[in-house]
């Protein structure tokens, strides 16, 4: 077996060598998903753990090394994934990894969103600031580098758009051919255009994401195509590194709570693995509670938590947050364990709540795609239910850039996003918030007097609204 890592089935515990895995990344005995384990991981045999720990740099040494690499000019050091390579030794030759300098994303303070959610201190880890505009890049550099090392010529994924954009870019960098399967008519234009731009063979199937993944899973068993969905455990090794970045950016303090959107549930699983491994290695003393937020129309994990028989029942998914329009999440078992082990929650939010939260994040000058906004919408509910307290330091994981889905944003601001029934079910306060946030474009004659009059009107309105919102203050 490989000296650096093994794959362990997360359902039955069976272990195999990395290169012995089946093309669909499922355990032949129980159909479970694998996780990557290392000689220092919990559960690796005792005598091996002892010798491996000797080889590992001590926590202080690793922190220093990771920081120092930021100033290096080597691509592999500049990557916010491979900078942490001691925690993901999955390739033999780390200098040959395929990288677009992913990771190293900002951790923004969100004071206005904090106030709206009812917490004192809120941060946003913006994974939309990755090279292709989503968190998928951190996973793609890892798994695609493994594909290259194993000699694959073709790679493929099923996607709601972001995985395909990331895969297409990394495959192009590596000179591999790639095929993406996406649900027809249900992906945002920004993402579809990226796959085409990076030269992928794009197949739009007349089904949903779940149907695409099912079909692709059969195809990879018949052709030598490397599957790059998050059932591939190497994806999650890259996607765990934002956990390291977050604590590094907080000067090795750990937030009390991390809020993550849930679709196929790979990302929440990966971040959980990252935090739990750091604790196991003594890099941190505790882990944050990890809560997963789903769209109400695509909420199988939320339902699973509420089901006393604990049965996973796939749903027919429907939401405008198309990135998480997933009814049969592959990694639900891993994600549910992360929530339980860390003491987090699973919450759901409706379309109005998502739209409002997205506009609020945008109004803070940060912006994100709709699926990422479920985090703020979900946090409001967790606070209201007493599951997050005011003093807790919360980090929202914003998974995608606002430019991924510009149509959603334009429809929102023009007042064309929500249906009459959705608007009718809003509270007065929600309606007032929408009214204050909506900024539809003005269409005017190119005439100085006309423009001046319109601007004066707008300024007077804005001033009046501000005075009303903060009586007794002048800004």
**Site for ligand F0G (CB under 6 A): how many residues?**
22
Residue 162 within binding range of ligand F0G, rule CB under 6 A: yes
Shortest Cβ distance from residue 172 to ligand F0G (Å)?
A: 17
Contacts of 460 (CB under 8 A, 6+ apart): none
The packing angle between helices 162-174 and 189-197, to 10°, is 10
Residue 113 within binding range of ligand F0G, rule CB under 6 A: no
Q: Scan residues 286-325 and list those touching ligand F0G (CB under 6 A).
A: 323-324
Q: Which residue in the set 145, 383, 400, 434 belongs to the binding site for ligand F0G (CB under 6 A)?
A: 400
What x/- string results for residues 257 through 276 when contact with ligand F0G is judged by CB under 6 A? ----xxxxxxx---------
| E strand or H helix that includes residue 396 | strand 394-398
> The tokens 């750091």 sit on which residue?
278
Strand partners, 14: none
What x/- string results for residues 124 through 143 when contact with ligand F0G is judged by CB under 6 A? ----------x-x-------
CA distances from 56 to 52, 53, 284 (A): 6, 5, 16
Residue 336 within binding range of ligand F0G, rule CB under 6 A: no
By CB neighbour count within 10 A (0-12 exposed, 13-18 middle, 19+ buried), where does 443 fall? exposed
Shortest Cβ distance from residue 5 to ligand F0G (Å)?
A: 21
Residue 195 within binding range of ligand F0G, rule CB under 6 A: no
Q: Which residue in the set 145, 195, 399, 402 belongs to the binding site for ligand F0G (CB under 6 A)?
A: 399
What x/- string results for residues 361 through 380 when contact with ligand F0G is judged by CB under 6 A? --------x-xx--------
Shortest Cβ distance from residue 94 to ligand F0G (Å)?
A: 25
Contact 266, 139 (CB under 8 A): yes
Concatenated DSSP letters of 1-65: --SS-EEEETTT--EEEGGG--TT-B-TTT-PBEEEE-TTSTTS-HHHHHHHHHHSPPHHHHHHH
Contact 125, 105 (CB under 8 A): yes
Residue 232 within binding range of ligand F0G, rule CB under 6 A: no
Contacts with ligand F0G by CB under 6 A lie at: 134, 136, 159-163, 230, 261-267, 323-324, 369, 371-372, 399-400
């Amino acid at each position: 077996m490989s000296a650096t890592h093994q794959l362990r089935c997360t359902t039955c515990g069976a272990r195999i060598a990395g290169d012995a895995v089946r093309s669909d990344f499922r355990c032949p005995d129980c159909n479970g998903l694998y996780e990557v384990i290392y000689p220092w991981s919990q559960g690796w045999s005792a005598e091996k753990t002892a010798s491996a720990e000797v080889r590992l740099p001590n926590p202080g040494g690793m922190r220093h090394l990771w920081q120092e690499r930021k100033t290096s000019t080597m691509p592999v050091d500049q990557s916010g994934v491979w900078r942490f390579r001691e925690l993901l030794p999955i390739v033999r030759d780390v200098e040959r990894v395929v990288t677009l300098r992913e990771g190293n994303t900002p951790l923004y303070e969100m004071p206005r969103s904090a106030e709206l959610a009812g917490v004192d201190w809120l941060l946003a880890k913006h994974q939309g600031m990755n090279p292709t505009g989503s968190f998928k890049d951190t996973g793609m550099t890892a798994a695609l580098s493994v594909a290259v090392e194993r000699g694959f010529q073709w790679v493929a994924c099923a996607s709601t758009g972001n995985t395909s954009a990331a895969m297409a870019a990394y495959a192009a960098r590596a000179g591999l051919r790639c095929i993406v399967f996406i649900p027809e008519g249900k992906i945002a234009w920004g993402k579809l255009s990226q796959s085409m731009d990076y030269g992928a063979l794009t197949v739009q199937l007349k089904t949903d994401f779940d149907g695409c993944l099912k079909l692709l899973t059969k195809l990879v068993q018949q052709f030598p195509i490397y599957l790059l969905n998050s059932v591939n455990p190497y994806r999650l090794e890259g996607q765990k590194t934002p956990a390291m970045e977050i604590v590094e950016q907080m000067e090795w303090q750990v937030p009390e709570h991390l809020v993550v959107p849930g679709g196929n549930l790979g990302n929440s699983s990966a971040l959980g693995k990252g935090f739990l491994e750091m604790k196991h290695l003594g890099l941190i003393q505790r882990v944050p509670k990890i809560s997963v937020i789903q769209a109400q129309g695509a909420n199988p994990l939320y339902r699973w938590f509420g089901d006393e028989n604990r049965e996973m029942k796939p749903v027919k998914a429907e939401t405008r947050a198309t990135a998480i329009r997933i009814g049969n999440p592959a990694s639900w078992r891993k994600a549910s364990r992360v929530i339980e082990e860390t003491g987090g929650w699973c919450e759901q939010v409706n379309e109005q709540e998502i739209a409002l939260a997205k506009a609020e994040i945008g109004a803070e000058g940060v912006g994100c795609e709709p699926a990422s906004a479920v985090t703020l919408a979900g946090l409001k509910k967790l606070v209201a239910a007493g599951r997050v307290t005011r003093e807790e330091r919360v980090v929202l994981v914003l998974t995608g850039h606002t430019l991924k889905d510009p149509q959603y944003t334009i429809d929102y601001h023009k007042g064309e996003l929500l249906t009459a029934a959705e608007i009718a079910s809003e509270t007065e306060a929600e309606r007032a918030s929408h009214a204050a946030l909506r900024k539809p474009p003005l269409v005017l004659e190119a005439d100085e007097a006309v423009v001046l009059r319109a601007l004066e009107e707008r300024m007077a309105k804005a001033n009046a609204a501000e005075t009303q919102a903060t009586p007794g203050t002048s800004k």
